[in-house]
Amino acid sequence: MAGFAVDPAFAAGSVFVADGDLCQVRLQDDARFPWLILIPRVAGAVELDDLSEADRIRLMTEIVAAGDRVRALGDASGRPVEKLNVAAIGNVTAQLHVHIVGRRRDDGLWPDPVWGRGPALPYGDRLAQAVAWVAAA
């Protein structure tokens, strides 16, 4: 979509998985949590109301689909996700984006939020496999 570019902060901590109808789908490179980021490919979008009504509907559809992917990915040990956290915070990176994070009651940070908590555990050699798994789900 014309004029769209991913904020460099996303490129530093996540990897491209696929493009949906509206959003770029990225996998957060933190194996502690199955974690996708949806970034609407709309130049200058910061808030949900920067999207047209039709794009807000498409975003919600893509959020639900991303939740299915997160559940399919499971946690680093392959255990199922117990709870999905969905958030569009944007305090650090203003570009409109939505986090879809799979959580478990025993994930080490439960019930606290995951943002900015502890060092990320990169997927390392398993990154390509995780990306392929999410893209295929």
61, 54 contact by CB (below 8 A): no
Q: What is the pLDDT of residue 135?
A: 80
Q: What is the pLDDT of residue 92?
A: 87
| Chain segment 5-31, per-residue pLDDT in tens | 999 999 899 999 999 999 999 999 999
* pLDDT per residue rounded down to tens, the chain (137 residues): 678 999 999 989 999 999 999 999 999 999 999 999 999 999 999 999 999 999 999 999 999 999 999 998 877 777 899 999 999 998 889 999 999 999 999 998 999 999 888 899 999 888 888 888 788 76
Q: What is the pLDDT of residue 116?
A: 85
Task: Kindly provide the b/e burial profile for residues 11-28, where b requires at least 16 CB atoms within 10 angstroms of the residue's own CB.
Answer: eeebbebeebebbbbbbb
Q: How far apart are CA 33 and CA 117, in angstroms?
A: 12
Q: What is the pLDDT of residue 52?
A: 98
81, 34 contact by CB (below 8 A): yes
Domains and CATH numbers, the chain: 8-136 (3.30.428.10)
Q: What is the pLDDT of residue 128?
A: 85
Q: What is the pLDDT of residue 137?
A: 64
